[in-house]
Amino acid sequence: MHAAAFDALGLAAVYVSVRTGPGSVPWLMRALAAADGGGNVTIPHKQVAAGAVDELRGAALMLEACNTFWAEDGRLIGDNTDVAGVLAAVEELDVPEGPWLVVGTGGSARAVAAAAAARGAAIALRSRSAVRAEAFMQWASALGVTEAAADDCVLAVNATPVGLADEAQPLSFGGLPALTAVLDLVYRPAETAWVRSARGRGLRAADGRGVLVAQGSESLSRWFPGIRPPLAAMRSAVDAALG
């Protein structure tokens, strides 16, 4: 996706994946920034990355999670573009006003809750851990997000890795009479079983491709201020890779 964007823009830049453990995240980020570079951070290192930068901005301050970093005047800056990605995907799904059902309590779920706050939507939560669920709702309430009943929710969002490697589904659709749309943050070839199942029930559904492209374009804007990301080229690259 970013390679396609760099080619379209004529930028002398490369984007490669680097596998690392949590203890190496801070020095790796600083090494890249010292070379006047930047990058993204994905699960499970977003919280570690938030503590590694010199300054957090935007949604990263609220989420305490950093997925985008770059160098600025010799300092390491971090932001979070996941919220913008979720909002763009929800807009594309044309979700009506109403509560959201969030599956998960990790960093991605926090981005979904923050997006719900921006839309003025209440949330219901599904989690395997009652302790994590309670802590999550306390955090979300500090954003002004109120708790809703699951059967009132018009949108369900999978913010877990369920369905990434197999046909498992994070949530059944029984007992959700108000549901009109489904957003799966997971993306994989041929989409996920959950998205296909939702469409089979007549629900509007999308996997995480739209989120990926939207948050990626926001990241590119941080690395190269003043440059307009080529969204069509980025989405075409994602679709070509995933089929």
Residue-wise pLDDT for 168-221, tens only, equals 999 999 999 999 999 999 999 989 999 999 999 999 999 999 999 999 999 999
Same structural domain for residues 106 and 199? yes
DSSP bridge partners of 156: 101, 182
Same structural domain for residues 202 and 217? no
Q: How many domains does the chain have?
A: 2
Side by side, which strands form the sheet with 55-56?
38-40, 68-72, 75-79, 55-56
Same structural domain for residues 46 and 93? no
Cα(243)–Cα(11) distance, integer angstroms: 26
Q: DSSP character for 135?
A: H
Residue 107 binned pLDDT confidence (cut-offs 50, 70, 90): confident
For position 79, what pLDDT does the model report? 96
Same structural domain for residues 199 and 116? yes
106, pLDDT greater than 90? no
Residue-wise pLDDT for 86-97, tens only, equals 999 999 999 999
Residues taking part in catalysis: 46
Residue pair 157/103 in contact (Cβ under 8 Å)? The answer is yes
Greatest pairwise CA separation for the chain in angstroms: 53
The values of phi and psi at residue 226, to 5°, are 90, -5
Same structural domain for residues 32 and 108? no
What's the pTM value of the predicted model, to 2 decimals? 0.90
CATH number, domain with residue 7:
3.40.50.10860
Looking at every residue in the chain, the average pLDDT score rounds to 94
Same structural domain for residues 143 and 197? yes
Same structural domain for residues 91 and 137? yes
42, pLDDT greater than 90? no
Residue 44 binned pLDDT confidence (cut-offs 50, 70, 90): confident
Same structural domain for residues 87 and 197? yes
For position 171, what pLDDT does the model report? 94
Residue pair 68/85 in contact (Cβ under 8 Å)? The answer is no
Same structural domain for residues 10 and 36? yes
Enclosing domain of residue 137: 83-207
CATH number, domain with residue 133:
3.40.50.720
Same structural domain for residues 150 and 120? yes
Same structural domain for residues 36 and 58? yes
